Amino acid sequence: MFKNIPIVPDVFYVGVNDRQKSSFENIIPLDKGVSYNSYLILDEKTALIDTVDVSQATLFIEKLQSQLQNRKLDYLIINHIEPDHSGAIGFLRKYHPEVTIVGNSKTLSMLEGFYGLEDNVLEIKEEETLSLGKHQLQFYMVPMVHWPETMFTYDKTAKILFSGDAFGSFGTLDGAVIDKDMNTDKYWDEMIRYYANVMGKYGSPVQKAMQKVSALSLNYICSTHGPVWHERIPEALKISDRLSKYEGEEGVVVVYGSMYGNTELMAETVAQGLAEAGVREVAVHNISKSDPSYILRDIFKYKGLIIGSPTYNNELHPEIEPLLRKIEIRGIKNRVFGYFGSFSWAGAAVKRMSAFAEKTGWSVAATVVEQKLGLKEDNYNACLQLGREVAGMLKKEVN
Ligand SMILES: Cc1cc2nc3c(=O)[nH]c(=O)nc-3n(C[C@H](O)[C@H](O)[C@H](O)COP(=O)(O)O)c2cc1C
Ligand SMILES: [Fe+2]
Ligand SMILES: [Fe+2]
């Protein structure tokens, strides 16, 4: 019954949308949902590239069976065994006990570990090819894009790169699958949020993978999440390249925590200083309201970062501390940084942020504002100055 969308005449999209889960990995909000993409090649031999999350396994199998029309499934190629793509393998094996599961040595040991599957598998190595008849598939290992076993499958005949999580994005596929058939506006920021939160730590493996990609001729990039890239391949590659080099655009994120509004007023003033000095892209986040995934998205997107925190029980604001940890874990490089803080009787926040700033190796603004009790004129002016100073540093480093 299902009419699956072809990428090229004999390669079909058999993936599914997830509009039900509220958070990806039970952590990252899915305000626009997510798709789990799977692709079927119908040649002399048939091959499926990746499966989907177990929650969508029934629909996935029905879409697959509609396309196979009683043909047997010869191969399942696993580019990435994280359960959002491997969850349906158990079902698949029940429908297609004959299927040969293709992966590298790490994939196959994880396949045994997760699902107890050991028989009828085919181990492949770097640049080995698998012929389906007309379609020749070649494999490229890209460890840590996003797990150790991750690999790319390149269809040399159709010039399609099946890229696993690389070049993926949050956001369901709303009717169309290929970029040329849709308005892609909603995906770009979701691609950055996906990268910042899921891949953010793995800049250098992503760079290595991009070097492998640069040698390939590409008509389509079929990722495991979000649109199939065709007309917009250059933009999709550019975003990944920039993010994995930790290159920020000209703009500043101002993040603050505030219980009663004093630190918030400092943040407003810093933002005004930035705008006055000509920064057009200023993203202000109240850490008690913005989900950290959006804050991290903007930290990856922009080169400037300014953080403000009140002192709370002789520590940083309880939400600012974990944000600093998230930044450290991802090893974010090349940022222009400023910070400010407040207290009422014994300040600790500014001291902690200065220790953080030192560890990052970033360019740090000389102006640091530490406010006791309410905001007075001298500190008001210092906050404006902090904004102006970061703006000046940013313009120097970006241009
Ligand atoms: C729960 C709580 C704990 C605090 N702990 C400290 C502290 O350890 N040292 C201090 O100097 N001020 C402390 N303060 C005072 C705040 O740091 C100070 O009032 C700050 O300016 C509040 O900023 P805000 O108005 O942005 O919330 C605390 C305030 C609260 C509500
Ligand atoms: Fe993944
Ligand atoms: Fe994934």
8 A C-beta contact, residue 58 and residue 52? no
Strands of 265-391 (E only): list them.
282-286, 302-310, 336-343, 363-364, 369-372
Query: With a 6 A CB cut-off, is 309 part of the ligand 1 pocket?
Result: no
Calculate how far, in angstroms, residue 318's C-alpha sits from the geometric centre of ligand 2. Answer: 29
Mean pLDDT score of the chain: 97
pLDDT digits (tens, 9 = 90+) for 378-394: 999 999 999 999 999 99
Note the residue count of the chain. Answer: 399
Q: Which of 289, 319, 340, 344 to mutate to test the pocket of ligand 1 (most atoms within 8 A of CB)?
A: 344
Output the residue whose Cα is nearest ligand 1's atom 2.
312
Token reading at 320: 């600012």
Domains of the chain: 5-244 (3.60.15.10), 252-392 (3.40.50.360)
Question: How remote is the CA of residue 79 from the centroid of ligand 2, in Å?
Answer: 10
Q: Measured in angstroms, how far is the CA atom of residue 360 from the centroid of ligand 3?
A: 29
Distances (CA, A) of 220 to 35, 113, 199, 200: 17, 33, 22, 24
Q: What is the structure's pLDDT at 397?
A: 86
pLDDT (tens digit per residue) in 86-140: 999 999 999 999 999 999 999 999 999 999 999 999 999 999 999 999 999 999 9
pLDDT for the residue numbered 398: 75
Element housing 193 (H / E): helix 185-194
Side-chain half-sphere of 331: how many Cα atoms within 13 Å? 8
| Beta strand 28-29 pairing with 23-24 | antiparallel
Q: Which residues have beta carbons under 5 A from ligand 3 (an ion)?
A: 84, 165, 224
Give the ligand 1 atom nearest the CA of 315: 8
pLDDT value of position 352: 98
Q: What is the pLDDT of residue 82?
A: 98
**How far is Cα 46 from Cα 71, in angstroms, rounded to an integer?**
8
Instruction: Note the pLDDT of residue 399.
Output: 62
| Best of 255, 269, 311, 376 for a ligand 1 pocket test (most atoms within 8 Å of beta carbon) | 311
Beta carbons within 10 angstroms of residue 59's beta carbon: 16
Give the residues across from 282 on adjacent strands: 252
Instruction: State which residues of the chain have pLDDT below 70.
Output: 399
Q: What is the pLDDT of residue 309?
A: 98
Strands 220-223 and 249-256: unpaired
